[in-house]
Amino acid sequence: MREPITTIPAGLLLVCAWLNPAAASPRNDTPQAAAPAAPIRIVAAENMWGALAERLGGEHVRVRSILSNPDQDPHLFEVSPGVARAVAGADIVIRNGIGYDPWMKGLLAARGKPPAEELCVADLAGRHDGDNPHLWYDPAVMPMVARALSARLAKEDPADSDFYAERLQQVLAAIAPVSERVAAMRARFAGTPVTATEPVFGLMAEAIGLDMRNRRFQLAVMNDTEPAASDVAAMETDLRQHRVRLLIFNSQASDSAADRLKRIALQSGVPVVGVSETEPAGESYESWMLRQLDAVASALQSGQSGRAEPAGR
């Protein structure tokens, strides 16, 4: 992922300033109430966190996910007045953090008082600037966020805390196969050399124990800078000489350089797998992750096939 180059126009900040957050959020005026008068309003910067909120909250929540189109490059996102209004009226806001959605911090700052309950995934996971921001690809993070979000929902709506606790257990059971599949793949593929055009899948590759090569090249692409000529040459050499067993690419953000590397990989007999940054429509988090893990495992098994796996959709 390239760091999003997104600014918030001054006019959009005025949208937040014109709104009266206290009037827009009457539930916050009556914290002593036994149950909310209306569903808890949640805005998630990315749809994998929004989908999690829907699963945990059921009919007790209304969720809007901002980055949700798997066919759209999330790096090109621009804030709209509708997004500003949604954040201004939210009871809970979920953002990824560490540079992936910097526009959300600006919208939160502009909404004034009372502040929304904010859940920053990076803070929860103990990650900092410079770390890989694709946190949903770390199999340990989603259960962590689920527990934290369930606690926030129970805090907002204590009368339904038993409901949220039951939903949490259901979600944890549903996503457990992801960690199980990662463990099985680690036992089989740990130490296998692979490479990628961007570090989208990097945290998952790390969990599997894959030997990820060409990290400087990937970081340059993520930060939207030109990779050094020596790093480009090293990447192409790894592919042409079959020093890696797999090339992973971002199926949502392609350019001529990435397309060239895919061609070199396929011509050299190195399998290619695409992964996406947003959760595809009609899929759960676990089906999305398991499908991509299956594609990676199949590619690593094939070794010499040189075929492109359609994991990223």
* Predicted pLDDT at 64: 96
Strand arrangement of the beta sheet that strand 308-309 belongs to:
211-213, 193-196, 247-250, 272-275, 308-309
> How many Cα atoms within 13 Å fall on the side-chain side of residue 254?
16
* Residue 10 pLDDT level (bands cut at 50, 70, 90): very low
CA–chain centroid gap for 166, Å, is 25
* Predicted pLDDT at 74: 64
Report DSSP state, residue 200.
G
Count the Cβ atoms, other than its own, within 10 Å of residue 293.
22
Domains and CATH numbers, the chain: 10-176 (3.40.50.1980), 190-309 (3.40.50.1980)
Of 46, 53, 138, nearest in space to 100 by CA: 46
Longest dimension (CA), the chain: 67
* Predicted pLDDT at 191: 97
Specify the range with the lowest mean pLDDT, choosing from 138-142, 208-212, 249-253: 249-253
* Predicted pLDDT at 75: 63
Overall average pLDDT of the 146-174 stretch:
97
- Report whether pLDDT(124) > 90: yes
- Report whether pLDDT(56) > 50: yes
The per-residue pLDDT of the chain, averaged, comes to: 86
* Residue 15 pLDDT level (bands cut at 50, 70, 90): very low
* Residue 223 pLDDT level (bands cut at 50, 70, 90): confident
Q: What is the pTM of this model?
A: 0.84
Quote the tokens at residue 21. Answer: 């957050």
User: What span, in angstroms and rounded, lies between the C-alpha atoms of 241 and 135?
Assistant: 32
- Report whether pLDDT(232) > 70: yes
User: What span, in angstroms and rounded, lies between the C-alpha atoms of 175 and 276?
Assistant: 18
* Predicted pLDDT at 116: 78
- Report whether pLDDT(31) > 60: no
- Report whether pLDDT(2) > 60: no
Of 127, 120, 112, 122, nearest in space to 152 by CA: 120
| CA separation, residue 225 to residues 1, 34, 162, 218, 257 (Å) | 12, 53, 49, 10, 12
